[in-house]
Structure 1
Amino acid sequence: MKKIATALALSVTATAAFAHTGTGVHTHGFLSGFLHPLTGLDHLLAMLAVGAWSVRQQGARWLPLAFVGMLLVGVATGAAGLVVPGLETGIALTVALMGVLLAVAARLPAAPDVAMVGAFALLHGNAHGHELPHMASAIGLLLSSSLLVYGGSVLGRVSPALAVKAAGAVIAVTGVMLAATA
């Protein structure tokens, strides 16, 4: 329970996401890409939630890989200039949905799991790709994102089910609040 409380405390100290289009120009180095997922509440919570949720799913080993792989595809689409309509709202809703899935301990078949997590990652990656289109920043982003998903899976394994459900509820409410302000 202490680990979950610490993770939640750290997550609420993150600022609103600045990985989205129209929020300014960032440097394009490895460190900038690495820090991006750690400084945006929506990205931080989504990646931790994907990790925590994945350990209880049939496709557990594929979900983190699907997320990181599709995150890379999303970065490429953003760097290429593809604009996804409603991106901000879509990203916030991924946080809300992941929170709900955690809160209700939903178990889905492997194929829909992978497709859903992949679609979520595509949105998050696209947002990052608009602001961090260079290879060094993309590598930093992928490394940091992988660590967050892995960290979420560790929390999902070691935390009591009730703590994971409670964290899911907090993440869901946060996602709804983010969507309302998107």
Structure 2
Amino acid sequence: MKNKRIAALAALVLVSAAASAHPQTGGAHTHGFFDGFVHPFTGLDHLLAMLSVGIWSARQSSARWLPATFLGMLLFGVLTGVAGLTIPGLETGIALTVALMGVLIAVAARLPAAMGAVMVGAFALLHGNAHGHELPAAASAMGLLAASALLVYGGRVLGQVSPALALKISGAAIAATGVMLAATV
């Protein structure tokens, strides 16, 4: 079991290392299912945020619905982006969601259920809005939701099987990455 945990964490590190935040410039995105599916894996900010929501939710009491809340609000956020709603400071806000989720994991914070849902929903709204601007087609939105579900629920599994110390260290690394991303926006 310990080797499986190490392998899972190593895989996440390798995937994260290969990712870079928004690698395409100038609107070079296409808009199919595959493009939407791949997108969360190619942006470090989105990858870490979605994994973090899952990891953190696994350590919350009575919070099995937090991943579903994130996914529902992610879809709502996509719709706001497609509709043209612009959120000031969006990229900085997204980076800060990564930092805050990392801190919550690092300190093993437990929040009241309603507060956790509002926070996770707000984070998903930001991420979804960015995706709605970048990938406005319905097919890409479905791909995005499928990949996001894999990442959030995969993070939840990691949160359930990983030792507390490994999670705290990972949370600190995620928080530091979020701060770095915010500083480079």
Shift of 1:62: 1.5
Aligned to 2:33: 30
* 1:119 aligns to 2:91 (yes or no): no
Unaligned runs of 5+ in 1: none
1:6 pairs with 6, 11, 17, which one? 11
Note the 1:89-100 alignment, pairs <5 A: 89-100=92-103
Shift of 1:17: 2.4
Query: Partners of 1:160 and 1:134 in 2: how far apart?
Result: 40
Unaligned runs of 5+ in 2: none
Shift of 1:6: 2.6
Query: Partners of 1:125 and 1:36 in 2: how far apart?
Result: 12
Report the CA distance shift for 1:117/1:181 in structure 2 as closer, same or farther (over 3 A).
same
User: How far does the alpha carbon of each residue in 1:48-87 deviate from its partner, in whole angstroms, 9 at most, with x for none?
Assistant: 0000000111342111011000000000000000000000
Query: What is the root-mean-square deviation of aligned Cα atoms in Å?
Result: 1.3
Q: Is the 8 A contact 1:59 1:109 kept in 2?
A: no
Shift of 1:39: 0.5
Query: Partners of 2:53 and 2:41 in 1: how far apart?
Result: 15
Aligned to 1:155: 158
TM-score normalized by structure 2?
0.94
Number of matched residues? 180
Aligned to 2:141: 138
Aligned to 1:109: 112
User: How far does the alpha carbon of each residue in 1:81-116 deviate from its partner, in whole angstroms, 9 at most, with x for none?
Assistant: 000000010000000000000000000000000000
User: How far does the alpha carbon of each residue in 1:5-51 deviate from its partner, in whole angstroms, 9 at most, with x for none?
Assistant: 331232121012258xx742311100000001010000000000000
Identity of aligned residues (%): 70
1:46 pairs with 38, 45, 49, which one? 49
User: How far does the alpha carbon of each residue in 1:127-177 deviate from its partner, in whole angstroms, 9 at most, with x for none?
Assistant: 000011111000000000000001100111110000011100000000000
